[in-house]
Structure 1
Amino acid sequence: MGVRDEQKQATRERVLEAARDLFNETGYEETTIRAIAERAGVSVGSVFTTFASKAEVLSHVMERRLGDLYAEFDRVLPFLRGSTADRLCSIFAIHYEFETKRVRLFLAHIAASYSPSNDPGVTPYGRNERLSDMLEQVLRDGVARGDVRGDLDLPLTVEVLKACYASNYRMAAARGADAAEMSTAMDRQVALIAAGWAPRS
């Protein structure tokens, strides 16, 4: 890697760290590219040389953050026990515990799912393939174990689970609910959904 490439990478790192902190401190909408550049100690032009938009900056911030989370999941998933519902509740509880450390940042990530932008550099919450694949695998394992019926529409069930998970962040946004409160709500929602996937007698 040449000197120019190293400088570009260093700028990228500073921009992502500054953006992560500002999105969480002041919110996504309120954070400007100029503010990110000032916090990072770089020019506005340098930000736009590296990223096409603020939405792309957010997407890369979350990609890095979620990469750390899913590295941890790779370690713990084989050790999850209990029914399919229990395993899903554990997955969501870990997510809530992780994301409530920077809840405004994750709220911005969810909000980006509703943006009309189709920028290929942007991956909002709704298009997180890693989460979808993880949830679908747990459901497939449940089918194999016999506690999930074989004709269940797995992709649709994953979308319903993800929608419930995201909607619980309204409690954090509206009244500062913590990870435990959101996990309790999610447990009830998973139990309701699980009643629908139980094998028919």
Structure 2
Amino acid sequence: MNADVDTASRPPASRQSQKEATRLRVLNAARELFDTHGYQGTTIREIARHAGVAVGSVFTTFASKGEILSEVMQARLDPLYAELDRVMPHLRGSTADRLRTMFAIHFEFEARHVRLFLSHIAAAYDWTLPPGAKPYGHTPRLQEIIRETLQKGIEQGEVRADCDLQEIVDLLMAAYAWTYRLVITREAGTQAMIDAMDRQIGLVAEGFAPRG
């Protein structure tokens, strides 16, 4: 009863501060667990235990495990996209080469926590995700960067103007995600995945190149 009275009488700023502290503890715990146990291998109960909070506190802050992962990945990916925004306008070479550089930067970035990124991909196939979750494929900034690169290719005469750019974006993102299977099937390192993606981009580029 005393605890209930103390909580009720606590100033709003203090309660908000405690809520934010709980949120950060949950996100930090989830980041570690997703990176070691994967998406399917991590449960809300384990996240709560690892964070040192009650399971109910987790659900008070987040709607689902997928939403927790979305916030973890957004915090990780925002600096990457900021770096790409800085680098991409200065890249030279063909459209295919610019795409290769962009994806190479992605592979090198995710190599630090590759299992965490595999969790990000796995969440895309969780049909129970709520609308607020943003797994791989629901990150609009990545799609925008690819589309901007292709649009520049049209302006330079390297990409056919009649191409459906969204279909090319989807194909490249699918190839990028599929390349991560090499981590599981062959224990591939970053350079092996970059080389595989480079070849796939070459094949896609043959399809969007002007005819004759």
Q: What TM-score, normalized to structure 1?
A: 0.95
Q: Shift of the alpha carbon at 1:106?
A: 0.9
Secondary structure of 1:121's counterpart equals: coil
Correspondences of 1:16-165 after superposition (within 5 Å): 16-165=27-176
Q: Shift of the alpha carbon at 1:34?
A: 2.0
2:107 & 2:29 partners in 1: Cα distance? Answer: 23
1:62 & 1:163 partners in 2: Cα distance? Answer: 18
2:170 & 2:116 partners in 1: Cα distance? Answer: 22
- Give the aligned residue type for 2:128: S
- Give the aligned residue type for 1:156: E
Counterpart pick for 2:208 among 190, 194, 197: 197
Unaligned runs of 5+ in 2: 1-11
- Give the aligned residue type for 2:160: R
Q: Shift of the alpha carbon at 1:132?
A: 0.7
Counterpart pick for 1:168 among 172, 175, 179: 179
Alignment RMSD, CA only? 1.3
1:144 & 1:49 partners in 2: Cα distance? Answer: 49
Q: Shift of the alpha carbon at 1:102?
A: 1.0
2:206 & 2:42 partners in 1: Cα distance? Answer: 43
1:36 & 1:116 partners in 2: Cα distance? Answer: 21
Unaligned runs of 5+ in 1: none
Q: Shift of the alpha carbon at 1:152?
A: 1.1
Identity over aligned pairs, percent? 56
Secondary structure of 1:123's counterpart equals: coil
1:148 & 1:45 partners in 2: Cα distance? Answer: 52
- Greater CA drift, 172-181 or 87-96: 172-181
Q: What TM-score, normalized to structure 2?
A: 0.90
Q: Shift of the alpha carbon at 1:118?
A: 4.8
| Aligned CA distance change for structure 1 residues 195 and 79 (closer, same or farther; 3 Å) | same
1:72 & 1:40 partners in 2: Cα distance? Answer: 31
